[in-house]
Amino acid sequence: QVQLQQWGAGLLKPSETLSLTCAVYGGSFSGYYWSWVRQTPGKGLEWIGEINHSGTINYNPSLKSRVTISVDTSKNQFSLKVWSVTAADTAVYYCTVTDFFYYTMDVWGQGTTVTVSS
Amino acid sequence: DVVMTQTPLSLSVTPGQSASISCKSSQSLLHSDGKTYFYWYLQKAGQPPQLLIYGISNRFSGVPDRFSGSGSGTDFTLKISRVEAEDVGVYYCMQSIQLPRTFGQGTKLEIK
């Protein structure tokens, strides 16, 4: 059974870079969709981006200019960076993995609360 | 972006009674491959969302058969028969026919 464990800085100042990492235990990257989703009280759940089954990285256009998703297969980890954060980036961030073909798996990380405040 | 609109935003149900949640999308979620890219999630307090239903009506592994999904095109419904205390939480619909994947605003289910 795949498990995800995520970590990263929880308190940032405006203009800093948000950096989160998600470690994958009990599985590999092949064939699944590896995503980042964030949740705010105001906007609800927002899909940030993903690494799809073929390794293509897709981003939410609303964030694309400030977001980078990357994968390190040697460490079984994938990461999220959000550049030049503002208070609007304050949210709970989740990493997820889903099998969107056969629906054998849908796993979410525990969530990381990120607060942007001066 | 595809806009997902849920109704109601909250509902209170007596245990043992049924509950229905509606989700409407701003465009059809039926793909040319014949699949409908629509999902229901449940988020319990203090937990991440969990997948309940995929492809309109298919229950994910371990989801009780009290949960059922229906609909087509742009109109979808989640029905919970015989609501139990463990069903409390916020229910979200989601589409993935078009990126970015988008979620409904959530429906909070409470027990009377």
Residue range A60-64: mean pLDDT, rounded: 95
The owner of tokens 């509606």 is B22
Closest chain A residue by Cα to residue B100:
A60
Q: Mutate one of A50, A56, A65, A103 to test the B interface: name it (highest B CB count within 10 A).
A: A103
pLDDT higher than threshold 90 for residue B24? yes
Torsion of CA A69, A110, A103, B94, to 10 degrees: -80
Most A CBs within 10 Å: which of B103, B105, B107, B108, as the mutation test of the A interface? B103
Question: A13 to chain B, minimum CA–CA distance in Å?
Answer: 25
pLDDT of A41 reads 83
Q: Minimum mean pLDDT among A69-78, A107-116, B30-39, B93-102: which range? A: A69-78
Q: What's the pLDDT score for residue A103?
A: 87
Q: What is the mean pLDDT of chain B?
A: 97
Q: Which residue has the higher pLDDT, A16 or A99?
A: A16
Whether the pLDDT of residue A28 is over 80: the answer is no
Q: Are B99 and A57 in contact (CB under 8 A)?
A: no
- The yes-or-no verdict on residue B79 having pLDDT over 80 is yes
pLDDT in tens, B41-72: 999 999 999 999 999 999 999 999 999 999 99
